[in-house]
Amino acid sequence: MKNEVSTLFETVVDGGYCIGCGVCTAIKNSPLKMKLNEYGVYVPYIIDESNKENFNIPVTEVCPFSNNKEDENTLAQKKYGEYCKYSDEIGYYQGTYAGYVAEGNYRTMGSSGGLGTWVLEQLFSKGMVDYVIHVRANSTEEKESKNVMFEYKVASSKEDIRNGSKSRYYPIEMSGVLDFIRKNSGTYAIVGVPCFIKAIRLLSLQDDLYKNRVRYCVGLVCGHLKSTRFADMFAWQFGIEPGKLDYINFRKEISGNPANQYGVEVRGLAPDGKVVHGIKPVRELYGFLWGKGFLKNEACEFCDDVFSETADLTIGDAWLPQYLNDSYGTNIVIVRDNELSEIIKEGMESGQLHLDEIPYTEVVRSQESGLRHRREGLAYRLYLKDRAGKWRPNKRVFPKKNISSKYKLIYKVRMKFVQVSHSAFKIAVEKKDFEIFKSLMEPHNQFFNYLYSNEYTERKKRRIYLKENN
């Protein structure tokens, strides 16, 4: 008879749908642990294959990409359904805002408007939680021993919380911090991307310890997660080979540039042992375009939650024309929980926050392309999986075949980018040559660029004309 652990592996893990969140390790007596695989992506593994005793613990019930009873709608409806409005795109909401933190240096320290760190600090300093769980850089010693630049960590002081600001486009997993929560009573706030927050909600349904201790979830708007190789890909273009990177800031503000034209800052060692430190506009770096999805976690292709719909409050970038020109960065904010709503309103009244109330449709507009990829694009990917007779998770989006021929091709090339980039980078690392990565990506890159070119549009017009006039 199938047990829970083998079902998880045969469906989610082997199918390429594991996001590597680590929640499956947190159920009591879990036989699983997390490790980075050869592509720099976290996956679970079985600690002791011979010990089948604990193989029936409900790992599929907490996995955000398995077919469990709950989805983002049912989870969020229970928490916010009574008093929030609902939209198909952003989920439940009671307030939607755009702006930034006006006090202190939260905004310059943060990636967008600094609200992430500010809200977490408010929860802590008001005594609403004892600890904050967020993602911080490892020390040089930690980096050397664990071979990762960033990790989920527990913050127990304002200084710790502030040291966690900035977006880490880097894989992280929660097994360590979930173990900390189990062993240390107290209350916690956690920040995470949508599927990680969903996983926390699922875990809280299975185990009251997490339900009682994790009091607030702050969600990030999410495009997708990257492998560790994304940081290496940038660093290599500064002359820092993989393994020699010591520091990376994925979101360095460049004064005078629009907010979405930020820089990437790195420090590490060149092959001759000299220290390299540099900043380049992200658009000058190969592989920067998020729409292409280089080194993306494959599971993200099967996500339908852009706005962390199960979080008490969600923050993202205000990618809207009226805010883009401000290089310091602007947040969009979706408030769901009542207590967090009070904190935001108090912050606005006191002048600590500079926020405009905006219609929810503006929040939707700020993430148009991400939404298209996770609605129409996902529907098409689900259709392709079904056609191939492969297992895939149930989503809130239904499979759809009939979309425009151009977008069919765009979604197919994006899938190719995800598949090919991981193995191409591995080969480049083995051969110690970044150009190999580029040459393996180039055929797909060129076709993708062609789909957005005038040549494609002209040819398409010609085909339509000939068809209509034949």
Residues that bind ligand FAD (CB under 6 A): 110-117, 120, 134-135, 164-169, 172, 191-193, 220-223, 225, 315-317, 319, 331, 367, 370
CA distance linking residue 294 with residue 226, whole number of Å: 8
Residue closer to ligand FAD (CB basis): 40 or 113: 113
CA distance linking residue 182 with residue 417, whole number of Å: 39
Answer left, alpha or beta for residue 74, where phi above 0 means left and psi between -120 and 50 means alpha: alpha
The secondary structure of residue 273, as a DSSP letter, is S
Instruction: Tell me the closest approach of the beta carbon of residue 354 to ligand FAD, in angstroms.
Output: 13
- Token look-up 């408010």 returns 122
Q: How many residues does the chain have?
A: 470
Instruction: Tell me the closest approach of the beta carbon of residue 371 to ligand FAD, in angstroms.
Output: 10
From 194, 170, 386, 180, select the one nearest 297 (Cα to Cα): 170
Residue closer to ligand FAD (CB basis): 8 or 355: 355
Instruction: Tell me the closest approach of the beta carbon of residue 171 to ligand FAD, in angstroms.
Output: 8
135 forms bridges with which residues in the sheet? 152
Residue closer to ligand FAD (CB basis): 15 or 113: 113
Residue closer to ligand FAD (CB basis): 191 or 282: 191
Instruction: Tell me the closest approach of the beta carbon of residue 60 to ligand FAD, in angstroms.
Output: 23
Instruction: Tell me the closest approach of the beta carbon of residue 315 to ligand FAD, in angstroms.
Output: 5
Instruction: Tell me the closest approach of the beta carbon of residue 392 to ligand FAD, in angstroms.
Output: 22
Residue closer to ligand FAD (CB basis): 202 or 217: 217
Residue closer to ligand FAD (CB basis): 223 or 242: 223
H or E element that contains 76: helix 72-80
3-state secondary structure string across 347-379: HHHHCCEEEEECCHHHHHHCCHHHHHHHCHHHH
For 105, the token pair is 């240096």
For 305, the token pair is 């939650």
Residue closer to ligand FAD (CB basis): 9 or 169: 169
Residue closer to ligand FAD (CB basis): 260 or 394: 260
Instruction: Tell me the closest approach of the beta carbon of residue 403 to ligand FAD, in angstroms.
Output: 22
* Residues sharing a CB contact under 8 Å with residue 67, sequence separation 6 or more, in sequence order: 11, 60, 393, 394
Let me know: does 357 contact 95? Beta carbons within 8 Å.
Answer: yes
Let me know: does 232 contact 91? Beta carbons within 8 Å.
Answer: no
Residue closer to ligand FAD (CB basis): 276 or 324: 324
Backbone angles phi, psi at 190, to 5 degrees: -130, 145
Amino acid at 18: C
From 330, 238, 334, select the one nearest 285 (Cα to Cα): 238
Q: In what order do the strands lie in the sheet with 263-269?
A: 245-252, 263-269, 275-281
Residue closer to ligand FAD (CB basis): 57 or 102: 102
Instruction: Tell me the closest approach of the beta carbon of residue 324 to ligand FAD, in angstroms.
Output: 12
Instruction: Tell me the closest approach of the beta carbon of residue 366 to ligand FAD, in angstroms.
Output: 7
The secondary structure of residue 326, as a DSSP letter, is -
Instruction: Tell me the closest approach of the beta carbon of residue 66 to ligand FAD, in angstroms.
Output: 21
Instruction: Tell me the closest approach of the beta carbon of residue 240 to ligand FAD, in angstroms.
Output: 21
Residue closer to ligand FAD (CB basis): 91 or 114: 114
H or E element that contains 35: strand 32-36
Answer left, alpha or beta for residue 178, where phi above 0 means left and psi between -120 and 50 means alpha: alpha
From 327, 357, 330, select the one nearest 99 (Cα to Cα): 330
